[in-house]
């Protein structure tokens, strides 16, 4: 009988506390502007109210990212950042915070590291979830088995192009579900907002998992509107753009940005 993901896990997801209120998922690329400063900015985000930290693992071909995050990945790779250095980064921040951490990475780095070893390391250092943009639902069996063994949530991504597969993907979700906003100009397009509402509605028919909507750099009004029907917001490019502009002097700007998003979510 073919392997099937029943959606039933033998462990409890570790994200429930983060979604007691509307959650902000703060993103940065590990190693941009350098690995030590990445750690400082993660702790700054936590102190400013970020509920979940999403750490991008640098990869040479980040096909699912926009220009801002692609550029941050290139800067990190030039700094010699690799998986072991990212694991070390999380180990260091775990000395000061237990905020949930999610990795954003592509399949190739995990495959090269070894599925078993990768997820074992995630468990060891306290990573709760992994997002893999180039891993199709239909091909995730081998990865899912290793992730389940080490109690790491594979966070599914649902895009507007996933319309015919929304319920299939969502019904087996654990941790939370990441919904990609349709297009860069969504904030000026009410049809895009309506589309997001419809996607979340379809998800909620089959899953109790929290839904996070991933935006680039949403305005306050858009955050407030989206918060009416989702469980959290991720502003992927916002913090990365600040870091690109201010480098090692971005702490105050990062702090202000996170506080502004949290305020809009209330």
Query: What are the chain's domains?
Result: 20-265 (3.20.20.70)
With tokens 């996607």, the residue in question is 199
**Nearest CA-CA partner of 172 in 129, 206, 202:** 206
| Beta strand segments in the chain, E | 23-29, 52-56, 101-104, 129-131, 153-154, 157-158, 177-180, 211-215, 232-235
What is the model's pLDDT at position 188? 46
Compute the CA torsion angle 18, 23, 28, 34 (nearest 10 deg): -50
User: What pLDDT, on the 0 to 100 scale, is given for residue 9?
Assistant: 55
pLDDT tier at 183, thresholds 50, 70, 90 = low
The reported pLDDT for the residue numbered 110 is 96
Per-residue confidence band for 141, with pLDDT thresholds at 50, 70 and 90:
very high
Mean pLDDT to the nearest integer, 36-49? 98
7 has a pLDDT exceeding 90: no
117-147 in b/e form (b: 16+ CB < 10 A) is ebbebbeebbbbbbbbbebebeebeebbebb
- Distance between CA 161 and CA 81 in Å, rounded? 33
Percent helix / strand / coil, the chain, rounded to 5: 50, 15, 35
For the residues 174-190, what does the mean pLDDT come to?
72
Tell me the C-alpha to C-alpha distance, in Å, between residue 195 and each of 31, 200, 217: 35, 9, 18
Q: Which of 186, 149, 191, 144 is nearest to 169 (CA)?
A: 144
pLDDT confidence tier of residue 61, bands split at 50, 70 and 90: confident
Min mean pLDDT across 59-68, 210-219, 239-248 is at: 59-68
Residue 187 has pLDDT above 90, yes or no: no
């Amino acid at each position: 009988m073919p392997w099937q993901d029943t959606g039933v896990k033998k462990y409890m997801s570790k994200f429930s506390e983060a979604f007691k209120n509307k959650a902000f998922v703060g993103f940065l690329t590990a190693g941009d502007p350098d690995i030590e400063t990445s750690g400082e900015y993660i702790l700054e985000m936590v102190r400013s109210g970020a509920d979940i930290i999403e750490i991008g693992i640098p990869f040479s071909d980040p096909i699912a990212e926009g220009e801002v995050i692609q550029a941050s990945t290139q800067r990190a790779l030039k700094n010699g950042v690799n998986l072991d250095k990212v694991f070390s980064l999380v180990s260091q921040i775990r000395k000061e915070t237990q905020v949930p951490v999610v990795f954003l990475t592509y399949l190739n780095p995990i495959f090269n590291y070894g599925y078993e070893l990768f997820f074992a390391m995630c468990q060891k250092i306290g990573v709760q979830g992994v997002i893999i943009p180039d891993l199709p639902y239909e091909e995730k069996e081998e990865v899912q088995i290793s992730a389940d063994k080490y109690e790491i949530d594979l966070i599914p991504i649902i895009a507007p192009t996933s319309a015919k597969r929304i319920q299939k993907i969502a019904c087996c979700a654990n941790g939370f579900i990441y919904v990609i906003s349709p297009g860069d100009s969504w904030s000026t397009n009410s049809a895009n907002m309506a589309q997001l509402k419809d996607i979340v509605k379809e998800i909620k028919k089959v899953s109790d998992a929290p839904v996070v909507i991933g935006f680039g750099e949403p305005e306050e009004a858009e955050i407030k509107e989206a918060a009416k029907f989702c469980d959290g917001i991720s502003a992927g490019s916002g913090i990365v753009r600040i870091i690109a502009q201010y480098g090692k002097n971005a702490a105050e700007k990062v702090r202000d940005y996170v506080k502004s998003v949290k305020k809009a979510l209330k």
